[in-house]
Structure 1
Amino acid sequence: MSYGGGYDDNAGGYGSQPTPSRDKPRRDYDSQTLIPVTIKMILDAMSSPSGDGASGDLVLADERPIHMIKLVCAIRTSEARSTNTFLDVEDGTGIFQVKVFSSGRDDGSGDADCSAMQQMRMEACQDNQYVRIIGQVREFDGTRQIIANDVRVLSSGDELSYHYLEVAHSYEKHLKRKQQQGQGIFGGGMMGYGIGNVASSGGPPPHGGGVGLSAHGGNLGGGSRINDAVIAFIQSEGSMSDSGVHIDQIKASLASQGFSNSDVMNAINELSNEGHIYSTIDEQHYQYAS
């Protein structure tokens, strides 16, 4: 199996750490948080050329810089070598390559992981196994790869669902922070990352113009009176809880406005498919896609 792009065992690549240039601006370590991601998010990330054959920081489509990432995925193939193991992983949004060092960390510290941690990490690197990976995304000569700091087998299938919720929640928090700062809102949405309403084939949720409720009951972007009523209720009540609003609450509230339960369910399905709202902890709870 060939991986190219300077990832051979004997290539320079990541085995050695270049001395940082004095002229290169210092990284903002406060922004280097652990970000839950999907493979599609990494593939769609933009890179800033550094001029030395490698690339600078990778930036997600929503303008967050990538440093440490968390990915939940399935290992499809693995190839063990003398000092490392290469994995081909996929999560339903794409396929990516992961490099796991057999002899411990490759962070230049010279501090190797304890043997128990090494053994646990390597035992997780088995074909057709679902794992949680924490690591850094590196790019060299246009080829991207995850350098894994840790690989763990999932203890439950719930971890996969929880990870997608984390991805969506992290995105929404970032979006809300940018809105509060008065910065421009990027397009796309969680459906652009391959998730959001995972089963939906709809396009990315709209952001920006036409989503505010005016004093005269302006259009919320739902396209009809009942759709706007559903969005308005979820916006109002959903802000009080990360889990959003239960559909029974929506039905009860809109019944007083003359809408039947079937009308409400049709509106919820339509808004979900269009990306205006998304399900959270289960298919009975919905949150507004800001």
Structure 2
Amino acid sequence: MGWVSLRYMLPKLLCVGLKPGMSKAQNVVAMTVGQILRCPGGEITVENRPVAIIVLIGQTKQEPELTDEAIVKVVGHFKEFQGRKSLMAITFRICASYNELTCHMLEVMYTPLKLKQIQMKDLEKSGISHQAEGALPNSIIAPLMDRGSTAGGFTPNQQRVHAIIANSSDEMGIHKDDIVRQCQGIINKREIESILQMMTSEGHIFSTVDDDTFKSTDA
């Protein structure tokens, strides 16, 4: 299953070895704790492809604001430091219902099946690249977001907002009001708030000093 007591499993996940030369994949992938622990050689991969950001659903007993045995959704980001990878929990929240656990497990099953399908098409085309050389889908709903999207799966407006956040030089990130000012006349406030919510839930950005100040996970 995709949920176990993170109290016992997280210490094993916080420092995972990285082979020299492995590039960082830009994707958000649903996984289980068991999948991570079974990755050979300490590499976090799905179908031999490196994963940068994962989504876990598990039980926690360590956070005082949460009740015991609560089921939570965790979005984490892997970063390289001195030749090793560390799992940084970006956000986590209590799951509203068991439907989220069901959806998570569907994503866990979908990702390797989708990769196998891509690999089979690549073989049929005799090595011709397909779908960005078999890049990992950003989520189970990624195919529904292709229309009007740009490189990285972002629409032009999403790409603009993400670039503003990623280019911020402030260590604490950039406030939502500053983003609105920089997008004045181009993107309205309501759409910016929707974009920020989507990027936070997908693990592209995270809040820092308050709920309205954001920093890019790529920074």
Q: Give TM-score scaled by structure 2 length.
A: 0.41
Higher relative CO (CA 8 A, sep ≥ 6), structure 1 or 2?
A: 2
Of structures 1 and 2, the larger Rg is shown by: 1
